[in-house]
């Protein structure tokens, strides 16, 4: 295209050519905006209140669970690495359960699934050392053994240590089991723990009265 041809182009083409020529001047502006956005992102993250931010808490929890250790207070002691297990998982937390309790929970889970409710085990069998570790954590969090005992049992008392208790999640699964658990002999034990179930009656039987302010 000769210079003369260019000057004869219709106005629309001339305009497009002008916009192309202007684009290099816009690029620094785009980069500047991107830089400001990145700076804001990385500047804000450390300022988030870590305890109150659900997103940051979820990330921290995932990191903590990902680093689950072996040994008596880790997976070998009943820790569930991702916080959710099924009865088919080959984990000490599951294989250490009383077989009758495991069967009851397995049947309940199958029937709940038929009701479009999926639930899983968040905690099952625990070694005495793991139970003690949970109690120690609660003491640090609540500032004393008396308060900690309201939320975590001692290794001597916990039905988790004898393989006779399961904690169930999520909440909708807890409510399903509270409603239907007696069909399988499963009972909520503590009024302050909707997730903790034990095999305490015959299928179709009646659960004993719930305990107040205690911990399993």
User: Which residue's entry shows tokens 């399961």?
Assistant: 166
Q: Work out how close the CB of 181 gets to Zn ion at its nearest, in angstroms, rounded to a whole number.
A: 14
Long-range pairs, 12-19, Cβ under 8 A, ≥24: none
Binding status of residue 216 toward Zn ion by CB under 5 A? yes
User: Count of alpha carbons within 13 Å of 198, Cβ hemisphere only?
Assistant: 20
Task: Specify the stretch interacting with Zn ion by CB under 5 A; choose among 53-61, 82-90, 149-157, 193-201.
Answer: 193-201
Q: Work out how close the CB of 160 gets to Zn ion at its nearest, in angstroms, rounded to a whole number.
A: 6
Strand bridging mode 166-169 / 186-188? unpaired
Q: Which residue is nearest to Zn ion (CB)?
A: 196
Task: Specify the stretch interacting with Zn ion by CB under 5 A; choose among 11-19, 78-86, 182-190, 191-199.
Answer: 191-199
Tokens encoding 191? 């009024």
Binding status of residue 167 toward Zn ion by CB under 5 A? yes
Q: How many residues bind Zn ion (CB under 5 A)?
A: 3
55 Rama sector, left if φ>0, alpha if ψ -120 to 50, beta otherwise = alpha
Contact partners, residue 57, CB within 8 Å, separation at least 6: 50, 51
Q: Work out how close the CB of 124 gets to Zn ion at its nearest, in angstroms, rounded to a whole number.
A: 9
* Of the residues 132, 168, 196, 200, which one makes contact with Zn ion according to CB under 5 A: 196
Task: Specify the stretch interacting with Zn ion by CB under 5 A; choose among 55-63, 103-111, 134-142, 188-196.
Answer: 188-196
In angstroms, how far is CA 169 from the centroid of its own chain?
A: 9
Residues forming contacts to Zn ion in the complex (CB under 5 A) are: 167, 196, 216
């Amino acid at each position: 295209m000769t210079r003369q041809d260019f000057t004869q182009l219709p106005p629309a083409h001339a305009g497009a050519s002008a916009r192309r020529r202007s684009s290099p001047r816009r690029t620094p502006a785009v980069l500047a905006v991107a830089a400001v956005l990145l700076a804001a992102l990385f500047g804000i993250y450390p300022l988030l209140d870590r305890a109150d931010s659900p997103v940051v808490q979820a990330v921290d929890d995932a990191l903590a669970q990902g680093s689950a250790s072996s040994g008596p207070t880790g997976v070998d002691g009943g820790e569930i690495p991702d916080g959710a297990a099924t009865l088919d998982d080959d984990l000490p937390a599951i294989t250490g359960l009383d077989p009758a309790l495991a069967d009851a929970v397995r049947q309940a889970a199958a029937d709940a699934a038929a009701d479009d409710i999926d639930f899983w085990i968040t905690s099952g069998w625990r070694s005495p050392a793991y139970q003690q570790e949970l109690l120690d954590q609660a003491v640090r969090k609540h500032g004393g053994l008396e308060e900690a005992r309201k939320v975590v049992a001692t290794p001597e008392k916990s039905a988790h240590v004898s393989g006779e208790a399961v904690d169930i999640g999520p909440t909708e699964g807890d409510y399903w089991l509270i409603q239907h658990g007696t069909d399988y002999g499963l009972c909520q034990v503590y009024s302050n723990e909707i997730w903790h179930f034990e095999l305490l009656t015959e299928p179709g039987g009646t659960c004993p009265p719930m305990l107040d302010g205690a911990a399993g």
